[in-house]
């Protein structure tokens, strides 16, 4: 039996052996032009369901293709801007709706209109990238440079 509290040692010299470490992983292969365009357009299309798809594509694939890096960054910036607008409208709706309920309903319609705008711009961005261009959202603050 061996004692697990005693480090492994070199039987000849009695010196401790270095534990085995695997070789470093190879860098990820760059995306092909078709895959780069596909993932870049999916970053825009993903905005239909929220900021998470754009965020994941940006974090995972940004170093594997120039197009996917630029387009996912643009889509993510737009999604962050839209999320800030959603939160601001929700707070306004809660405060003003508690004071005068028709204002709360009006702001609820504004939230719905914002969602429609986000869906339309996300689809436009995905289509534009799929056709070979790039897309810049008109109402997005560039949080990520």
What is residue 13's predicted lDDT score, i.e. its pLDDT? 63
What is residue 141's predicted lDDT score, i.e. its pLDDT? 92
Alpha-carbon Rg of the chain, whole angstroms?
Answer: 25
The CA-based angle 50-71-110, given to 5 degrees, is 35
Give the lowest-confidence range in 9-13, 55-59, 81-85, 109-113.
Answer: 9-13
Q: What is the pLDDT of residues 10-26, one digit of tens each?
A: 566 666 666 777 888 77
Compute the average pLDDT of residues 84-88. 96
Whether the per-residue pLDDT at 1 is higher than 90: the answer is no
* Residue among 60, 58, 56, 84 at smallest CA distance from 70: 58
Domain parsing of the chain, residue ranges:
33-130
Give the lowest-confidence range in 4-13, 27-36, 43-52, 59-68.
Answer: 4-13
Mean predicted lDDT score pLDDT of the chain: 89
Compute the average pLDDT of residues 72-98. 95
Distance of CA 62 to the CA centre of its chain: 10
Please indicate whether residue 44 or residue 104 has the higher confidence score (pLDDT).
44
What letter does residue 51 receive in the DSSP assignment?
A: S
Neighbours of 50 (CB within 10 A): 15
Q: How distant, in Å, are the alpha carbons of 13, 76, 85 from that of 46?
A: 60, 10, 18
Q: What is the pLDDT of residues 40-63, one digit of tens each?
A: 999 999 999 999 999 999 999 999
What is residue 24's predicted lDDT score, i.e. its pLDDT? 81
């Amino acid at each position: 039996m061996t004692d697990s509290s005693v480090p492994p040692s070199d039987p000849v010299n009695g010196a401790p052996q270095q534990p085995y470490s695997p070789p470093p992983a190879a860098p990820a292969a760059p995306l092909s032009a078709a895959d780069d365009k596909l993932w870049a357009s999916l970053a825009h299309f993903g905005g239909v369901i929220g900021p998470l798809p754009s965020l994941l594509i940006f974090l995972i694939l940004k170093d594997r293709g120039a197009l996917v890096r630029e387009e996912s960054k643009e889509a993510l910036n737009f999604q962050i801007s839209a999320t800030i607008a959603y939160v601001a409208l929700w707070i306004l709706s809660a405060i003003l709706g508690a004071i005068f309920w028709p204002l709360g309903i009006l702001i609820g319609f504004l939230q719905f209109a914002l969602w429609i705008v986000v869906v339309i711009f996300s689809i436009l961005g995905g289509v534009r990238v799929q056709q070979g261009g790039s897309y810049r959202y008109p109402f997005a603050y560039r949080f990520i440079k």
